[in-house]
Amino acid sequence: MLLESLKPEVTGILKNEDLSITERLHMVCQLLKNNVEHYDWVGFYFKNGDKEELKLRTYSGIETDHEIIPFGKGICGQVAISNENFVVPDVQAQDNYLSCSINVKSEIVIPLFKNGENIGQIDIDSDTPDPFSEKDERFLEFVNLEVAKIL
């Protein structure tokens, strides 16, 4: 299946030491956005130093107003605190949600752990309603594990 076939490509990009880490993360964002039909915006947020906020490191998709997200705010800020995957089949049904574009219908955020600490996350927006399954969760957990290895 498609997500499985992307795994070696993700690993290959992340192992390329000729590129900076941010460049490699950007290529992973592009790979996922361009190859998975229901991924319309893909980005990596990380804890911003000692601050209780997330900072957008790199992304593929339209520009967003949400480059900085305080812990607790929006889907991303909630995952920074909960340490758990957050799958949102319908963003309109969420009270605590930060809109990136009116086209977005759904979202998935998977926390990224380094040495057991929640240091960031991968965030994906979709223009399709309710497109995410456990396959996406397992795949994105794999991506984050691979990313953690180079951080």
User: How many residues line the site for ligand SME (CB under 6 A)?
Assistant: 15
Written as one letter, the residue type at 53 is: E
Is the CB of residue 80 less than 8 Å from the CB of residue 118?
yes
125 near ligand SME (CB under 6 A):
yes
Question: Minimum distance between the CB of residue 35 and ligand SME, rounded to whole angstroms?
Answer: 19
Q: Which of residues 6-35 bind ligand SME (CB under 6 A)?
A: none
Question: Alpha-carbon distance 74 to 114, whole Å?
Answer: 23
Question: Minimum distance between the CB of residue 110 and ligand SME, rounded to whole angstroms?
Answer: 13
Question: Alpha-carbon distance 114 to 117, whole Å?
Answer: 5
131 near ligand SME (CB under 6 A):
no
Residue ranges of alpha helices (H) inside the chain are: 2-14, 21-35, 74-82, 134-150
Instruction: Enumerate binding residues for ligand SME (CB under 6 A).
Output: 41, 43, 64, 66, 69, 74-77, 97-98, 100, 107, 123, 125
